[in-house]
Chain A
Amino acid sequence: MNERIERLRKESFETPVTLNCERAEIITDFYRENLGKYSIPMTRALAFKVLCTKKSIYIGKDELIVGERGPFPKSVSTYPELNCHSLDDLEVLDTRGKNPYRVPEKCREVYRDKVIPYWRGRTMRDRIFAEIGEEWKETYTAGYFTEFMEQRAPGHTTLDGKFYSKGMEDFKQEIAASLDSLDFKNDPDATQKREQLKAMSIACDAVVLFAERHGELASKMAEAESDPVRKEELERIAANCMHVPRHAPRDFWEALQMYWFMHLGTITELNGWDAMNPGHLDRYFYPFYSRELEVGAITRQRAKELLSAFWIKFNNHPAPPKVGVTAAESGTYNDFTNINLGGLLPDGTDGVNEISYMMLEVLDEIHLLQPQANIQLSRKTPDRFLKAAARIIRKGYGYPSIFNADTVIEQMIRAGKRVEDAREGGTSGCVETGAFGKEAYILTGYLNTPKILELTLGNGVDPVSGKKIGIESGDPATFKTFDELYAAFEKQLHHIVEIKIKGNQFIERMYAEHAPAVFLSVLIDDCIKNGKDYNDGGPRYNTNYIQCVGIGTITDSLSVLKKHVFEEKTFRMGEVLKAMEGNFEGREAMRLTLANKTPRWGNDDEYADGLMSRVFNSLFKEIDGRPNTKGGYYHIDMLPTTCHIYFGSVMGASPDGRFAHAPLSEGISPVQGADRNGPTAVIKSCGKMDHIRTGGTLLNMKFMPKVLEGENGIDKISKLVRTYFRYDGHHVQFNVVDSKTLRDAQVHPENFRDLIVRVAGYSDYFCDIGKDLQEEIISRTTQEEV
Chain B
Amino acid sequence: MSKGLIFDIKRYSIHDGPGIQTTVFLKGCPLSCWWCHNPESQSAAREMLYRADRCIGCGACTQACPEGAIAHTPDGFIADPDRCTLHGECVLVCPADAREIVGHEISVDGLLKEIEKDALFFDESGGGVTFSGGEPLSQPQFLTEALRACREMDIHTTVDTCGYAPRKVFEAIAPLTRLFLFDLKIMDPELHRKYTGVSNELVLSNIEWLSTQEAEMIIRIPIIPEINDTPENIEATGRFLAGLPKKLEVNLLPYHAAAHQKYRRFGAPYRLPHLSAPPAVRLEELTGRLSQFGLSVFTGG
Q: Which residues of A contact B (CB under 8 A)?
A: 588-593, 596-597, 604, 677-681, 684, 707, 710, 712-713, 715-716, 719-720, 722-723, 726-727, 756, 758-763, 769-773, 776
Query: How many angstroms from the CA of A677 to the CA of B127 in the assembled complex?
Result: 18
In the assembled complex, the CB of A563 is this many whole angstroms from the nearest CB of chain B, namely 14
Contacts of B300 in A (CB 8 A): 710
Contacts of A759 in B (CB 8 A): 256, 258
Contacts of A758 in B (CB 8 A): 15
Write 20 A-B pairs (CB below 8 A) sorted by A numbering: A589-B95, A592-B97, A593-B95, A596-B97, A677-B11, A678-B11, A680-B12, A707-B14, A710-B300, A716-B14, A716-B20, A719-B19, A719-B20, A723-B20, A759-B258, A760-B254, A761-B253, A763-B15, A772-B257, A776-B257
CB nearest neighbor in B for A717: B14
In the assembled complex, the CB of A547 is this many whole angstroms from the nearest CB of chain B, namely 28
In the assembled complex, the CB of B165 is this many whole angstroms from the nearest CB of chain A, namely 21
Q: Does the CB pair A762–B15 fall under 8 Å?
A: yes
Q: Does the CB pair A716–B19 fall under 8 Å?
A: yes
In the assembled complex, the CB of B119 is this many whole angstroms from the nearest CB of chain A, namely 10
Q: At the interface with chain A, which of B69-77, B133-141, B259-267?
A: B259-267
Contacts of B256 in A (CB 8 A): 759-761
Query: How many angstroms from the CA of A760 to the CA of B38 in the assembled complex?
Result: 12
Contacts of B96 in A (CB 8 A): 592, 596
Q: Does the CB pair B258–A680 fall under 8 Å?
A: no
In the assembled complex, the CB of A461 is this many whole angstroms from the nearest CB of chain B, namely 30
Q: Does the CB pair A589–B58 fall under 8 Å?
A: yes
Contacts of A593 in B (CB 8 A): 95
Q: Does the CB pair B260–A770 fall under 8 Å?
A: yes
CB nearest neighbor in B for A759: B258
Q: Does the CB pair A680–B15 fall under 8 Å?
A: no
Q: Does the CB pair A723–B120 fall under 8 Å?
A: yes
Query: How many angstroms from the CA of A713 to the CA of B19 in the assembled complex?
Result: 10
Instruction: Decide if B13 is an interface residue (CB 8 Å cutoff).
Output: yes
Q: Does the CB pair A680–B20 fall under 8 Å?
A: yes
Instruction: Decide if B31 is an interface residue (CB 8 Å cutoff).
Output: no
CB nearest neighbor in B for A722: B124
Instruction: Decide if B121 is an interface residue (CB 8 Å cutoff).
Output: yes
In the assembled complex, the CB of A377 is this many whole angstroms from the nearest CB of chain B, namely 13
Q: Does the CB pair B117–A596 fall under 8 Å?
A: no
Q: Which residues of B contact A (CB under 8 A)?
A: 10-16, 19-20, 23, 37, 56, 58, 60, 95-97, 117-118, 120-121, 124-125, 127, 253-254, 256-258, 260-262, 264-265, 300-301
Residue among A712, A715, A761, A773 making CB contact with B257, cutoff 8 Å: A773
Q: Does the CB pair A712–B12 fall under 8 Å?
A: no
Residue among B56, B95, B125, B260 making CB contact with A597, cutoff 8 Å: B95
CB nearest neighbor in B for A712: B14
Q: Does the CB pair A763–B12 fall under 8 Å?
A: yes
CB nearest neighbor in A for B53: A771
Query: How many angstroms from the CA of A596 to the CA of B285 in the assembled complex?
Result: 48
The 8 A-B pairs at the shortest CB distance, nearest first, are namely A770-B261, A719-B125, A592-B95, A760-B256, A593-B95, A716-B14, A589-B58, A678-B11
In the assembled complex, the CB of A178 is this many whole angstroms from the nearest CB of chain B, namely 50
Contacts of B97 in A (CB 8 A): 592, 596
Given contacts A592-B95, A604-B117, contact A713 B14 (CB under 8 A): yes
Contacts of A592 in B (CB 8 A): 56, 95-97
Contacts of B265 in A (CB 8 A): 770
Q: Does the CB pair B13–A763 fall under 8 Å?
A: yes
CB nearest neighbor in B for A713: B14
Q: Does the CB pair B125–A723 fall under 8 Å?
A: yes
Q: Does the CB pair A684–B117 fall under 8 Å?
A: yes
Contacts of B12 in A (CB 8 A): 678-680, 716, 720, 756, 763
Contacts of A719 in B (CB 8 A): 19-20, 121, 124-125, 127
Q: Does the CB pair A588–B14 fall under 8 Å?
A: no
In the assembled complex, the CB of B195 is this many whole angstroms from the nearest CB of chain A, namely 18
CB nearest neighbor in A for B277: A760
Which has the most chain B C-beta neighbours within 10 Å: A590, A604, A761, A773? A761
Q: Does the CB pair B261–A769 fall under 8 Å?
A: yes
